[in-house]
Structure 1
Amino acid sequence: MTETIATIRWRALDRDGEDKCRLAHLDGGYMLVGHARFRDGAGWAALDYVVRIGADWRTLSADVTGTHGGGDLALRLINDDGDWTLNGDPQPDLVGCEDVDFAFTPATNLMPLRRLPDVGRLTTRSAWLRLPGPALSPLDQSYIRERGNLVAYSAEQTGFATQLAVDATGFVTTYPGLWEADV
């Protein structure tokens, strides 16, 4: 049985789009259920995602279904103790990744943000899913809680860095230039 912990809705700042997400308790762990709708260089996307999360806030599995750029999409990622598969195919480059990071939503920042101490730093490696493609590769990330609800974020492979605002649940409320929570 699931029990909703929090819900959030974001609007895209860099394109037409929105995302709605729900965090719920599920079988001793958690689950993210979201619905992202946006337009990018490939056209319109209507993607639904489910991320199953262990009690330790690490990703167990994730599904993405819907349409992107006029084509159907159905992806299933499974993390079996650090060994990942995509639609049943082994992904050796992802060995040791703790989470998924869907490039099309801020929702998947939640897991590392929930593991981040009240003061301090967390480094993690995520299975980074980008569209079109899909493209899947490791992404080394760093989160540093600077004060209160402000967190410095950086991604090693891309050189991207920004300051995130987060709520008490751990959801990103401001992802500068990309996403903002509707309140």
Structure 2
Amino acid sequence: MSDLVVATAHWRALDREGEDKCRLSPTAHGWLLVGHARFRDEGGFAALDYVVRCDEVWHTLSADIAGVHDDREVRFHIQRDSGAWLLNEIEHIGLDGVVDVDLSFTPATNLMPLRRLLEGRETSLRSSAAWLNYPEPALKRLDQTYARTGQPDVMSYMAEQTGYATQLGFDQTGFVTLYPDLWEGEVTHAG
């Protein structure tokens, strides 16, 4: 793991009691997100730590989630291997062409497609994610569209399978700063 931290995001949940803190760090061959989500939902109190590994162009390589939820151990390992997506070593089908992971319990994983859009010249980006709709132990396809709005710190967002659409506030790092009705946060930059 990298000791260098580019930025740290700290979010407060708006739809329940909870918070999340995530660090963005470079690695020798990509990027690392290391986060700590704490929240209370209908299943009880959850303390989940997560690590998401990305390549140089912000495509997910793997992710690990570990912690407890209402005294139950939680442990997921997600791996993208030659186009196949595995959850705890079991391949999940229907994820052809997927390059991102989306962890439903944190806004951190919106960073990867936002970074790709911010670093390109396109006005919109259509991306598919392997969606872990926690606490369900399965990966499902989530087709997402991010589009520039003309405001420098706001993107339009839509998730096809859920029909969810909103305007996301974001920081120059790609971290979301406002996910209406779900999360709000701030980003601290290194240096």
Equivalent residue for 1:55?
Answer: 56
- Secondary structure of 1:128's counterpart equals strand
Q: Work out whether residues 178 and 184 of structure 2, in 8 Å CA contact, stay in contact via their aligned partners in 1.
A: yes
Equivalent residue for 1:130?
Answer: 133
Matching residue's letter, 1:84: W
- Secondary structure of 1:64's counterpart equals strand
**Deviant stretches of 4+, over 3 Å:** none
In the alignment, is residue 5 of structure 1 matched against residue 9 of structure 2?
no
Select between 116-125 and 159-168 the one with higher mean Cα deviation: 116-125
Q: Work out whether residues 92 and 138 of structure 2, in 8 Å CA contact, stay in contact via their aligned partners in 1.
A: no
The structural deviation recorded for 1:118 is 5.4
Equivalences, count? 183
Quote the Cα distance in structure 2 between the aligned partners of 1:156 and 1:115: 19
Superposition TM-score, scaled by structure 2 size: 0.92
Quote the Cα distance in structure 1 between the aligned partners of 2:6 and 2:102: 21
- Secondary structure of 1:4's counterpart equals coil
The structural deviation recorded for 1:96 is 1.9
- Deviation readout 1:41-62 (Å, 9 max, x if unpaired): 1111000000000001000000
Q: Work out whether residues 118 and 145 of structure 1, in 8 Å CA contact, stay in contact via their aligned partners in 2.
A: no
> Mind listing any 5+ residue stretches in structure 1 that lack a counterpart?
none
The structural deviation recorded for 1:26 is 0.9
Q: What is the RMSD of the two structures over their aligned residues, measured on CA atoms?
A: 1.3
Quote the Cα distance in structure 1 between the aligned partners of 2:69 and 2:98: 25
The share of aligned pairs that are identical, in percent, is 55
- Deviation readout 1:55-95 (Å, 9 max, x if unpaired): 01000000000012331111000001321111111112223
Q: Work out whether residues 63 and 77 of structure 2, in 8 Å CA contact, stay in contact via their aligned partners in 1.
A: yes
The verdict on how the C-alpha distance between 1:60 and 1:27 changes in structure 2, with shifts beyond 3 A counting, is same
Equivalent residue for 1:166?
Answer: 170
- Secondary structure of 2:109's counterpart equals helix
Q: Work out whether residues 87 and 139 of structure 2, in 8 Å CA contact, stay in contact via their aligned partners in 1.
A: no
Quote the Cα distance in structure 2 between the aligned partners of 1:182 and 1:80: 33
Select between 91-100 and 32-41 the one with higher mean Cα deviation: 91-100
Equivalent residue for 2:158?
Answer: 154
The verdict on how the C-alpha distance between 1:6 and 1:73 changes in structure 2, with shifts beyond 3 A counting, is same
